Amino acid sequence: MTKADPGFGLERIGQIAVPVKDVARAVAFYRDRLGMKLLFEAPPGLAFFGCGDVRLMLSAPETPELAHPASILYYRVADIDAAHASLLDRGVRFEHPPQLVHRAETYELWMAFLRDSEDNLLALMQERPVAP
């Protein structure tokens, strides 16, 4: 048994895996509708997208216990209203338009939830500065 380093702590996510039923359909959605950059595809049925410093991996579930919707991914956007309008024009299905979900002293948090081609729930988020 090794002694834990008290200074160690996980800090950054390198990759997120999203289980999908149909990889080709999901690739088309993330690339063409969400406008994400497809980095590469690899056998057997893997697709990798750039998402800032994090890679997003789409793949069919390897086992039955992994065949369920993904965790909710929250995408930061500079202008949630413009992002919502752009994605609506591309046929993206939203649960509701952007809504104020939290008001803090220095910002307002706005969110809009949407569904991908595999029915996974995703979200757009924007922190709008509040004028002093």
Residue 100 has which token pair? Answer: 């104020």
State the pLDDT at residue 102: 94
* Contact yes or no for 111/101 (Cβ under 8 A): yes
pLDDT in tens, 35-85: 999 999 998 899 999 999 999 999 998 888 777 878 889 999 999 999 999
> Domain 15-62+69-129 is in which class?
alpha beta
Is the per-residue pLDDT at 3 higher than 70? no
CA 67 – CA 83 distance, rounded (Å): 30
State the pLDDT at residue 1: 54
Domain residue extents for the chain: 15-62+69-129
Burial degree of 60 (CB within 10 A; 0-12, 13-18, 19+): middle
Residue type, 42: A
Residue 54 bridge partners (DSSP): 51
- Answer whether the bond into residue 19 is a cis peptide, omega within 30°: no
Query: What do you get for the CA distance between the two ends of the chain, in Å?
Result: 54
Task: Tell me what the pLDDT averaged over the chain comes to.
Answer: 90
